[in-house]
Structure 1
Amino acid sequence: MPDERSRAVVQTREFLVELSRDSSLPDRVRRDATFLLRHFPTRDDVALAGRIEEHSDTLPFGASGPVFSSTITR
């Protein structure tokens, strides 16, 4: 479901942020988390994508429907 996918992406970003800041982890793990975060969508990015998908009748979604939801709950 789009809302579950949105929540998972937001929570994954939060997890990567935690990893990148955890000084008890090896440098490589923190560097890898930081590297992955460079292009990982923010909560606002995911919500915006959801709004665009929910309010556009012209986007070619096919049978799959929207990917993200503008509603992101914990």
Structure 2
Amino acid sequence: MPYERSRAIVQTHEFLEQLSQDSSQSEEIRRVAINLLRHYPSKDEVLLQGRIQEGLEDKFGYPPFLSSKLE
């Protein structure tokens, strides 16, 4: 479901943020998390994309991949 995809992306972003700041993790793991976050969409970007896709569904006939809501 689109809202489940959106929620999973947002939760993954939060997880990577936590991982990047966790001093119990190795420097390499934290560095990888930081590098991934550079190109990972934020919650606002995911929800905006969901809103855009929902608005285009009627015009193009394709269901949205993402949702503007997380539930």
TM-score normalized with structure 1 length: 0.87
Q: Which moved more, 1:23-32 or 1:50-59?
A: 50-59
Q: Does 1:43 align with 2:43?
A: yes
Equivalence for 2:28: 28
Q: Does 1:10 align with 2:10?
A: yes
Q: Deviations over 1:28-74 (max 9, x none)?
A: 0000000000010000000000000001133573xxx211000014x
Q: Percent identity?
A: 53
Opposite residue 21 of structure 1, the aligned amino acid is Q
Larger helix proportion of the pair: 2
Q: What SS is found at the alignment partner of 2:67?
A: coil
TM-score (norm 2): 0.91
Would you identify which runs of 4 or more consecutive aligned residues in structure 1 move more than 2 Å? 57-61
Gaps of 5+ in 1: none
In structure 1, what residue type is equivalent to 2:54?
E
Instruction: Give distance in 1, aligned partners of 2:42 and 2:60.
Output: 22
Amino acid paired to 2:66: F
Amino acid at match of 1:39: H
User: 1:58 maps to which residue?
Assistant: 59
Q: Unaligned stretches of 5+ in structure 2? A: none
